[in-house]
Structure 1
Amino acid sequence: MAGPLSGTVREPATGVDGGPTAVRPLRPVLSAVLRTGGLFALLARRMLLLAALLAAVFAAIELLPGDAATATAERGESPADLGHRRHLLGLDRPVLTRFADWMTGLPTGDLGTSAHGEAVAGLLARPFPNTLLLGGLALLVTLVVSLGLGCLAALKPGRLTDRAVSATATGILALPEFVVAVALVLVFALWADWLPAVTLTGADGAPASWQMLVLPVTALSVPQIGWNTRIVRAALADEAKAPHMETALIDGLPRHRIFTHHLLPGALPTIAAGLATSTGMLLGGAVVVETIFNYPGIGGVLAGAVADRDSPVVAGVVAVTGAVITGVLLLADLIRAWASGGRI
């Protein structure tokens, strides 16, 4: 039978009831992963990668012209004053020593002190939840829209719907967040006057209304929708060629059950990996989008820290965003383990 639910005969995956289903119980899978130590090995590798990234951030800030003392100095300060400021900031110590001292406080949540004397953890406490809200909503929109469009295209391979969805996804994938944001402001804020072009905040530092989230979330999610729609479509198309799909059809299972119990679970690891990758892209793109819409997130904090050559703040931003991305990647790994019966 031609189409997305076809293939040659193979013994189907067996579920807890002995029937042909790809759905597996979660607890035995987690037990298998923990027994093999695969989860801890993955976590260790991700932590080493994050540590290397933080070291690169410190080195990159060190290579910039000037330092935090000169960047934050007041006009007319003497060389002696600058030297005293460097001593207070610890800039007269080797960069490796400063990095090691900063890393020792990281496990306890101590992200160091900024060039202006503020605790970095406190400096990020207010804007970072706003960035998480923006990125989380954008990820949710990306998941819902790309899953719907990808399924629509995969279930009608080669037809007009498939070609239209694939062409649209490819087109918006090439658009950077900056271009999408500017276009949204011109159309929906300036021309139609439907939505605000900038984000106003309340007393708690959060966006004052949900309308102020619409354009930033849309600008951030549009490129990722294109990326993930292609991933969903390709994952479903590949899984549809698996031999057990024909077996499910021969067994007379309803098509909706074949889709939910065979096709989608088999494609889920690839879809989850794509969404996990998008999390990093969303948090990176949030810096640009937040700047355009004056959104109260970590984008402004990061821009100011780079201008001030403030290594602890820049590294703190990278550390907290890296921790979020690491958590999402681990979740994607668990989904892959669930789909493969405990193998990571």
Structure 2
Amino acid sequence: MIPFARLLVRRIALLIALLATVFVVVDLLPGNTARAVLGRDATPDRIAAKEHELGLDHPLPQRFWNWISGVLTGDFGHTARGRSINDLLADKFPPTLLLGGLALTLTVLASLLLGIWWAARQNTAMRLLQPATTMAAAIPEFVVATLLILVFALAAGWLPAVTITGRSGFPASPDMLVLPVLALAIPQIGWNTRVVRAAMVHAAQAPHVESAVLDGISTRAVLLRHVLPFALPTIVASFATTVGMVLGGSLVVETIFNYPGLGAVLAGSVADRDVSLIASVVALSGAVIMGMLAVADGIRAWSLRGRG
């Protein structure tokens, strides 16, 4: 089996193991799905009937198998409240994907620019970027979101602090995306800028880079043509990891900004102990992350071509 296929099988196996863990953890949570859906005043007979309807009277392994066998055919099943999970994900995942995609794009562009500048101007950039990137990488997304709201929404009044959903299901105006995107991107920019700089500095120590400098090639050309291609595998691996961080952080940021994505869906599913919906969100997010990792693997393989 070729290495890429073996790696893909391993990632799929890890995702399935994660989904099984989700079923176990949710089953161990206090509370009852049927009671959460029917309310506190539900009689024992109604609760028992609802549990039978949802299949909660079956053993946990059987419930997991019934759910994942449906997923393999493209059917995520229904929520505990009877709504199609496929329809729910189709409505709520695109806004989350938009938010995460914008944050990832901003992270990639800003990290590359800042990291390359830091590598090229070690002394000048060190005084500014060393403390700034350390602080940005250390602060969680929800703290960054709170600070952004305090400064740009409440104090300055420049940007809205709450997202209003339009008829399309997306934010009603583009300015409502600014603060959520920044809240997601700032910590990742801090981390990835440091990775880009470290990878560039390490690649600059290669013999062919010294030869290019001695040949009188400009600093910009040396960085872009001789250093960046050799630093690319490390940089791409960091960006691929960032995809998972952005998707995970977006669920928290969406809740803070009342953003119309998967964040509210996941919060409601946890309150209802709706394991099928929780696992479906994890499965969809995991599939996106696996896809991005596959792209990253392809880029790394291309950048390493021809190297002994």
Letter of the structure 1 residue corresponding to residue 72 of structure 2: P
Give the structure 2 partner of residue 220 of structure 1.
184
Structure 2 residue runs without a partner (length 5+): none
1:67 paired to 2:67? no
Which deviations, in whole Å up to 9, do the C-alpha atoms of 1:287-327 show, x marking residues without a partner? 11101100000000000000100001000000000000111
For residues 63 and 273 of structure 2, what CA distance do their matches in structure 1 show? 14
Give the structure 2 partner of residue 233 of structure 1.
197
For residues 13 and 142 of structure 2, what CA distance do their matches in structure 1 show? 32
For residues 225 and 62 of structure 1, what CA distance do their matches in structure 2 show? 37
For residues 219 and 63 of structure 1, what CA distance do their matches in structure 2 show? 33
- Contact 1:153–1:166 (CA<8 Å) still a contact in 2? no
**How many pairs align?**
307
Letter of the structure 2 residue corresponding to residue 222 of structure 1: I
For residues 43 and 219 of structure 2, what CA distance do their matches in structure 1 show? 78
Which deviations, in whole Å up to 9, do the C-alpha atoms of 1:198-232 show, x marking residues without a partner? 00011121111100000000011110010101100
- Contact 2:35–2:42 (CA<8 Å) still a contact in 1? no
More helix by share: 2
TM-score normalised over the length of structure 1: 0.86
The 5 A counterparts of 1:295-306 are 295-306=259-270
1:119 paired to 2:84? yes
The 5 A counterparts of 1:93-104 are 93-104=58-69
Give the structure 2 partner of residue 129 of structure 1.
94
Letter of the structure 2 residue corresponding to residue 110 of structure 1: D
- Which 10-residue stretch deviates more, 166-175 or 306-315? 166-175
Q: Give % identity.
A: 54
1:39 paired to 2:4? yes
1:322 paired to 2:286? yes
Give the structure 2 partner of residue 48 of structure 1.
13
For residues 89 and 166 of structure 1, what CA distance do their matches in structure 2 show? 54
Give the structure 2 partner of residue 141 of structure 1.
106
For residues 135 and 216 of structure 1, what CA distance do their matches in structure 2 show? 9
For residues 305 and 127 of structure 2, what CA distance do their matches in structure 1 show? 35
* Offset, 1:252: 4.3
Change (3 A) 1:342 1:39: farther
* Offset, 1:72: 1.0
* Offset, 1:124: 1.2
Which deviations, in whole Å up to 9, do the C-alpha atoms of 1:112-144 show, x marking residues without a partner? 111011111111111110000000000011111
Which deviations, in whole Å up to 9, do the C-alpha atoms of 1:154-174 show, x marking residues without a partner? 1122x1322321221001111
TM-score normalised over the length of structure 2: 0.96
Give the structure 2 partner of residue 195 of structure 1.
159
Alignment root-mean-square deviation, CA: 1.4
For residues 108 and 299 of structure 1, what CA distance do their matches in structure 2 show? 25
Give the structure 2 partner of residue 204 of structure 1.
168
- Which 10-residue stretch deviates more, 274-283 or 256-265? 256-265
Which deviations, in whole Å up to 9, do the C-alpha atoms of 1:221-250 show, x marking residues without a partner? 110010101100100010011122112233
For residues 63 and 243 of structure 1, what CA distance do their matches in structure 2 show? 57
* Offset, 1:253: 3.8
1:172 paired to 2:111? no
Letter of the structure 2 residue corresponding to residue 233 of structure 1: R
- Which 10-residue stretch deviates more, 247-256 or 185-194? 247-256
Give the structure 2 partner of residue 156 of structure 1.
121
For residues 81 and 165 of structure 2, what CA distance do their matches in structure 1 show? 24
* Offset, 1:255: 3.5
For residues 323 and 177 of structure 1, what CA distance do their matches in structure 2 show? 23
Q: Secondary structure at the match of 1:72?
A: helix
- Contact 2:93–2:262 (CA<8 Å) still a contact in 1? yes
- Which 10-residue stretch deviates more, 234-243 or 332-341? 332-341
* Offset, 1:99: 0.5
* Offset, 1:76: 2.3
Higher Cα radius of gyration: 1
For residues 138 and 111 of structure 1, what CA distance do their matches in structure 2 show? 28
Which deviations, in whole Å up to 9, do the C-alpha atoms of 1:36-76 show, x marking residues without a partner? 72221121111111111101111110000122112112342
